Chain A
């Protein structure tokens, strides 16, 4: 069974590489390359996979998942300029793809040992753009 918990955080980011010219950044990242940044109300959906416990009827107590998302993602990223305040985005371009990978990296250690597995993260940058990441398959 898959269960999904949603959270949101508002952050600013700028998509550019300091080792590239302004023209090259503009060409690849478009208006997102403005180094002063811009912001989004990111919406995160975290999906877990597991079987409901025969006693509790729950795959996982969702307030535990809520707490993990809060500590690992919302507290460090909400109302922050990702490039300047949230490693590794001082050296990794905080594209929506890379933010999703980083969220996966932060959440994955909390799952995998027990019966509940991290299935995927979906990160909505706007209502019209989202990415899905399910980790790297070996």
Chain B
């Protein structure tokens, strides 16, 4: 098994505020991340695919296929945006980077079968650096 990871960058803003908590509770919980006008990050997204290396080509996959999937499914929706405006973060889902990782995983899974027809590669891991000091990662469970 080989894993191939591509790294992508996008800049977006967010404000952490839960509608089910009081103003005071939000302020206490999220601190400066709760400031009313929001703030932004240069997110670094890593997407990892896993599978066998094709004997003929020596490739796990064509990286351009993944690039197109990530561009269409993720980056074009979030680049230079306010994450609080995204459909996923209406209602009670707060655009923490934990929830953003989940949403990106959901989007990649949704587009995966159309991008990669065969059984391999599979989506293995999604990782986001919010800042150099804060990193969030999910390992994708296969059904």
Contacts and interface: CB of A to CB of B under 8 A. Distances in A.
Contact of A129 (B5, B56, B57, B59): B5
A128 B2 contact: no
Interface string B1-28: 1111111100000000000000000000
Contacts of A97: 2, 4, 53, 58-60
Interface string B26-56: 0000000000000000000000100001001
Contacts of A94: 58
Interface in A92-120: 92-98, 100-101
A15 B5 contact: no
A45 to B, nearest CB: 12
B62 interface: yes
Which 4 residue pairs are nearest across A and B when measured between Cβ atoms?
A: A93-B58, A95-B58, A128-B7, A132-B3
18 contacts: A15-B58, A28-B59, A28-B62, A29-B59, A97-B53, A100-B2, A127-B7, A128-B6, A128-B8, A129-B6, A129-B7, A129-B63, A130-B5, A131-B3, A131-B4, A131-B5, A132-B3, A136-B1
Contacts, number: 55
B58 A132 contact: no
A32 to B, nearest CB: 10
A84 interface: no
Contacts of B53: 95, 97-98, 101
A4 B8 CA distance: 25
User: Contact residue range for chain A?
Assistant: 20 to 34
A71 interface: no
A30 B57 CA distance: 12
A131 B58 contact: no
A11 to B, nearest CB: 15
Given A95-B57, A97-B58, A132 B64 contact: no
A92 B5 contact: no
A98 B57 CA distance: 9
A9 interface: no
A2 to B, nearest CB: 16
A79 interface: no
Contacts of A136: 1
Interface in B56-91: 56-60, 62-64
A131 B46 CA distance: 12
A17 B54 CA distance: 13
Contacts of A96: 4
A92 B58 contact: yes
Contacts of B5: 129-132
